[in-house]
């Protein structure tokens, strides 16, 4: 492995430490800690883990986090009522709807709930008003994963202006907003997707390559320009032993972890890319911790906006 590792875990810890005095200042003025309301619908194990991680991160810096859990049989209207309660509450500064939602709520459930959130409490940055502000380069709350990617690149000393960036993936949550943030930082940006022709050749043009397509180990060395910075957004649970053996070298310490747990988290980028890239984000320990850290940043900012400190 020759590439430089971009440490999201350590950088996220630095960000949380920097937030502590801001949280304390808000708490003094509000008479309570800044508070995040999370709606969790259903029993998806990964979502439960993510919500637990967010709750612990908030408690670590002095935030209050209220989680409202609804069963998978809940209706969309019941979920909307929780959002409206958070909207009307003077004790909640930020609101997050954990995704994915159960399929039984319908294909438009996420959009309906994101649209129902007060834009001033929309700490995920998915409300149309906040998306519009992002497009206009005056974001109130940038989506947490894209914001975390930019923050990690900045704190790692990765130059953005004038660089050629390629984003593989066009989701509303990651692909499109990270492309917009890179564009605002004067990168030249190409967004690729399932219908992009000659995708490996297009990706090889990138000095900064962001993989956000949700397919384990899809981006192999042929996609990567030597020396490029590669950002791996994927978090894919892989439980097939043959696949793991194909992906990891025989001396990888992760094989022992697989033998113990029966599964590993694998990114969208093949581990062999580390021999071609100049820098890369690991999975786990790269983009994931930064996403949680930027959720904390957005929640504190929401409290500061309420106090007239910012925005």
CA distance 112 to 134: 20
CA distance 156 to 28: 33
Mark whether 121 is an active-site residue. no
CA distance 233 to 169: 10
User: b/e for 215-249, b at 16 or more Cβ within 10 A?
Assistant: ebbbbebebbbeebbbbbbbbeeeeeeeebeebbe
Asked if the bond preceding 142 is cis, omega within 30° of 0, the reply is no
Catalytic residue from among 7, 118, 122, 124: 124
* The residue to which tokens 């209706």 are assigned: 75
Catalytic residue from among 7, 54, 93, 232: 54
User: Of how many residues is the chain composed?
Assistant: 311
What tokens does 190 get?
A: 């190409």
CA distance 244 to 300: 40
Mark whether 90 is an active-site residue. no
Cβ atoms of 183 and 209 within 8 Å: the answer is no
Asked if the bond preceding 100 is cis, omega within 30° of 0, the reply is yes
Give the count of alpha carbons within 13 A of 135, CB side only. Answer: 9
Mark whether 98 is an active-site residue. yes
Catalytic residue from among 7, 98, 121, 122: 98
Catalytic residue annotation: 54, 98, 124
């Amino acid at each position: 492995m020759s590439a430089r590792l971009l440490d999201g875990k350590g950088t996220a810890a630095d960000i949380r430490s920097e937030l502590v005095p801001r949280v304390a200042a808000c708490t003094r003025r509000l008479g309570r800690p800044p508070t995040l309301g999370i709606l969790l619908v259903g029993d998806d194990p990964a979502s439960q883990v993510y919500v637990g991680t967010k709750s612990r991160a908030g408690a670590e810096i002095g935030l209050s986090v209220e989680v409202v859990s609804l069963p998978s049989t809940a209706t969309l209207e019941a979920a909307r009522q929780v959002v409206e309660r958070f909207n009307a509450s003077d004790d909640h500064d930020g609101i997050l709807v954990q995704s994915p939602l159960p399929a039984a709520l319908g294909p438009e459930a996420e959009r309906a709930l994101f649209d129902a959130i007060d834009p001033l409490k929309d700490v995920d940055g998915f409300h149309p008003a906040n998306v519009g502000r992002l497009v206009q380069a005056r974001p109130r709350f940038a989506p947490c994963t894209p914001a975390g990617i930019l923050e990690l690149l900045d704190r790692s000393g990765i130059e953005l202006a004038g660089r050629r960036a390629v984003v593989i993936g066009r989701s509303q949550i990651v692909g499109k907003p990270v492309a917009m943030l890179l564009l605002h930082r004067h990168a030249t940006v190409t967004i690729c997707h399932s219908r992009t022709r000659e995708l490996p050749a297009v990706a090889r043009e990138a000095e900064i390559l962001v993989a956000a397509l949700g397919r384990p180990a899809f981006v192999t060395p042929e996609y990567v320009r030597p020396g490029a910075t590669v950002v791996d957004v994927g978090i894919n649970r892989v439980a097939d032993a043959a696949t793991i053996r194909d992906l990891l070298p025989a001396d990888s310490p992760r094989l022992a972890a697989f033998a113990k747990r029966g599964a590993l988290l694998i990114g969208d980028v093949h581990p062999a890319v580390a021999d071609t890239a100049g820098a890369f984000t690991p999975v786990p320990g790269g983009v994931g911790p930064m996403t949680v850290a930027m959720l904390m940043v957005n929640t504190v900012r929401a409290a500061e906006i309420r106090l007239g400190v910012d925005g």
